[in-house]
Structure 1
Amino acid sequence: MSEPAHDGDESVRIPDHDLDDLVSTVTRLVTESRKQAETLSRLTDTQPTEEDEEPAEATSDSAAAPTGDEAAGGQAAEDHGPSSIFILALDGKTYAEELAALTDWVHDLLLPVYGREIASGRPWCQQWQKHPEAVARLHALWLAWQQLTDVEAGLTGPSTWQRDHLDPAWMQLRTPDGPFGACTTSPARPNHRLLASPDPAGA
């Protein structure tokens, strides 16, 4: 019995050096994601530490008493960090740092692996950071990736991420009537334009 032909194997084989680069990139991104998750966990942790409690005991009653605004939750809420890890709930420096980390993930992992070619039926925008919907969807996708590619997610975590998060998000972002509908449809003709949103006031 003759051996099966393997003529097509070479055309789909990923070169070892490219595979090593991809593995290195994924490892680095996973490490960065875990560090950010730990940072966010510390920011959103509302339980006071022993270090926090000691200065509080040393303060006078008048200094420890909350003001009217603090009692209403104004300043107190700020002291405990952001109330959400979703990027649209962040602002200022925190938003800029989160967007920079998201950009690294999109450019280093998402696009090289899942980007596919730009076409009229599959637009893309190099300035995707200026599209609020794209930022929101990609950030949600990244958060899910951090959770479902963690060891604790189990062996089916990556498959679940692709099926339940990547595919729907990619379909919404790169459909011709999605947020990039007026942007690049051919790699040779880069374009960026924000589409108008409905007027909330209905005017």
Structure 2
Amino acid sequence: MSDPSTTAPEPEPFRVPDEDLDDLATTLARTMAEVRHHGVILDRLGTEPPTEPTIDPTPRPTAAAEPRAEDTSVGQGDGPASVFILALGGEVYAAELSALTDWVNYLFLPVYGREISTTRPWCDQWHEHPEAVARLHALWLAWQQLTDAEAGLSGPSTWHRDHLDQTLVHLRAPDGPFAACTTSPARPNHRLLATPAPQMAGAVQ
């Protein structure tokens, strides 16, 4: 029988501080979003056409990208002829907007968001501004193409120069789509600006 005085004491249970748990949860959520987004890219790189249309019982924000794997040019497949988000509708638009939102929240804003100011407004409800949705979606499409390995080593530089810089200039300009929205983080605001009314053909004499 062993001597109780020589037995090693049991180690005290290890506890992770609550603030560290919050950080781990945030990191896990961000990683899961990135994994979902990588799924979008893999879907769009697929070359085999779908056989029978199936329903995925697990909802995911990248569902809109699946029918577009073979619809990268006009006349291919039975899906929409355009990959541009404004050409989509209904559930397809909603799913594409959800995937775009992941990219905006987890890549665009953390890296390129920059501080909100009177000369650089922003709107948390950007998805309600059609121009913002259009510009961010176009930027996202270019990002997927130009950060792919097939784009070559200069692809990311081209994306910054030809796409990101131009989008930031127009999207966050003082007279851009967010002109009436938040100009100070302490005073969030959202308002859609009126646009010119369409003219009917032959109305102008």
Tell me whether the two structures share a fold, i.e. TM-score over 0.5.
yes
- Structure 2 letter corresponding to 1:41: A
| Aligned position for 2:127 | 129
Deviation at 1:83, TM superposition (A): 1.1
Matched, 1:183 2:190: no
Deviation at 1:28, TM superposition (A): 2.8
| Aligned position for 1:140 | 138
C-alpha separation between the residues in 2 aligned to 1:47 and 1:193? Answer: 39
Deviation at 1:201, TM superposition (A): 1.4
Deviation at 1:200, TM superposition (A): 1.4
Does structure 2 retain, via aligned residues, the 8 Å contact 1:33–1:146? no
What RMSD over aligned residues (CA atoms) do the two structures have, in Å? Answer: 2.7
Deviation string 1:15-54 (CA, Å, 9 cap, x unpaired) is xx9xxx6x95796365133134242123568678xxxxxx
C-alpha separation between the residues in 1 aligned to 2:125 and 2:183? Answer: 14
TM score, norm. by length of structure 1: 0.68
C-alpha separation between the residues in 2 aligned to 1:144 and 1:25? Answer: 22
Q: Secondary structure at the match of 1:122?
A: coil
Deviation at 1:111, TM superposition (A): 0.1
Identify the structure with bigger relative contact order (alpha carbons < 8 Å, sequence gap 6+): 1
| Aligned position for 1:171 | 169
| Aligned position for 2:158 | 160
Corresponding residue to 2:41 among 30, 34, 37: 34
Larger helix proportion, structure 1 or 2?
1
Deviation at 1:84, TM superposition (A): 0.5
| Aligned position for 1:110 | 108
Deviation at 1:170, TM superposition (A): 0.9
C-alpha separation between the residues in 2 aligned to 1:160 and 1:25? Answer: 28
Deviation at 1:192, TM superposition (A): 0.4
Q: Which 5+ residue runs of structure 2 have no aligned equivalent?
A: 1-22, 47-65
Q: Which 5+ residue runs of structure 1 have no aligned equivalent?
A: 1-16, 49-79
Does structure 1 retain, via aligned residues, the 8 Å contact 2:34–2:106? no
C-alpha separation between the residues in 1 aligned to 2:32 and 2:139? Answer: 18
Aligned residues: 154
TM score, norm. by length of structure 2: 0.68
Pairing of 1:64-103 with structure 2 (within 5 A): 80-103=78-101
Following TM superposition, the consecutive aligned residue runs of length 4 or more in structure 1 with deviations greater than 4 angstroms are 23-27, 43-48
C-alpha separation between the residues in 2 aligned to 1:47 and 1:189? Answer: 48
C-alpha separation between the residues in 1 aligned to 2:104 and 2:76? Answer: 34
Q: Secondary structure at the match of 2:86?
A: helix
